Amino acid sequence: MLIPKSILITGATSGIGAELAKQYSDRGVHLYLCARREDLLTEIALVCREKGATVSVFPCDVTDRAKMRDWILACDQKTPLDLVIANAGLGGAESLAGEFGEPEEVVRKLFAVNCDGVLNTVEPIKPIMVERKQGQIAIVSSLASYFGLPDSPAYCASKAAARIYGEALRPVLKPHGVAVNVICPGFVKTPMSDQLPFSLPFLLSVEKSVTIMRKRLAKNHARISFPAPLAFGSWFGMILPASISGTIMGYFRKFPKA
């Protein structure tokens, strides 16, 4: 059972990131929280401190490689990091494709945040954890990473890159005492999912979703996929021949948005 006391979380001011910060808050826990908006960071830090945690905040865009590296190294020097959660991500209505896919600027922004943001969070701490033979890295991907949805090609591709990176990294770092976990949620009720203009099957509350994540991270599950029905459906869609899965996805795309 892994019980972290020094935890770094990106994208910590909304949705899954904010709830992770709240649920990990306890006496003796030091949280390092990063997000773009300083005002929201201040608000979530206050909540976490009231629950007993020691909190340090850093307003920064995860795409800023140099600033992220300097901050992560400084956090680890202050209290060696037990758990780093690369959670910051871009999605929601902004990630939805139009008739001809997403505009180029949206595609590049999705990859910058969802891929480069993960690398900028993981790579600085990786050699440090390897050297001390201890630590845990969690990467938040999505069930949308299993196969490309026609409504969000770039989002699915960027989340797939993050998932494959984490899954491949796990056996590489395991012999060095470092755990790597990939989190693949389905639809979670957050401000981001609230933007989506269609019904969301098997929608889970953010509280329940993060409870699942914490329990499975503590048990060091390699891939944390939920809810089960949607996870199975996503996996099944992935193993279908592309001609079949593509036809099915194209058919569902014809339905009007709710």
Distance between CA atoms of residues 162 and 122, nearest Å = 11
Number of domains in the chain: 1
pLDDT surpasses 80 at 244: no
The pLDDT assigned to 213 comes to 98
Q: What is the mean pLDDT of the chain?
A: 89
| Within-domain flag for 83 | yes
Q: Which tokens belong to 160?
A: 């797939």
What is the share, in percent, of the chain residues with pLDDT greater than 70? 86
CATH number for 164:
3.40.50.720
Q: Which residue has the tokens 């009231």?
A: 50
How confident is the model over 158-207, as pLDDT tens digits? 999 999 999 999 999 999 999 999 999 998 888 777 766 666 778 899 99
Q: Which residue has the tokens 């945040």?
A: 113
Give how far Cα 12 sits from Cα of 45, 103, 177, 209, 245, Å.
9, 27, 26, 15, 35
Residue 102: domain span: 6-252
Q: Which tokens belong to 35?
A: 């997000």
| Within-domain flag for 98 | yes
pLDDT surpasses 80 at 3: yes
Secondary structure class of 141 (helix, strand, coil): coil
| Within-domain flag for 62 | yes
CB 182 within 8 A of CB 166: yes
The pLDDT assigned to 82 comes to 98
DSSP 84: E
Distance between CA atoms of residues 11 and 43, nearest Å = 14
> Could you tell me which of 230, 201, 190, 221 has the C-alpha nearest to residue 20?
190
Distance between CA atoms of residues 159 and 147, nearest Å = 10
pLDDT surpasses 60 at 228: yes
How confident is the model over 16-65, as pLDDT tens digits? 999 999 999 999 999 999 999 999 999 999 999 999 999 999 999 999 99
Other C-beta atoms lying within 10 Å of the C-beta of residue 215: 12
| Within-domain flag for 229 | yes
| Within-domain flag for 258 | no
Q: Which helix (H) or strand (E) holds 16?
A: helix 15-24
| Within-domain flag for 257 | no
How confident is the model over 128-156, as pLDDT tens digits? 999 999 999 999 999 999 977 777 889 99
Other C-beta atoms lying within 10 Å of the C-beta of residue 69: 15
Residues annotated as catalytic are: 155
Task: Label residue 187 left, alpha or beta by phi (over 0 means left) and psi (-120 to 50 means alpha).
Answer: beta
The pLDDT assigned to 246 comes to 62
| Within-domain flag for 214 | yes
| Within-domain flag for 1 | no
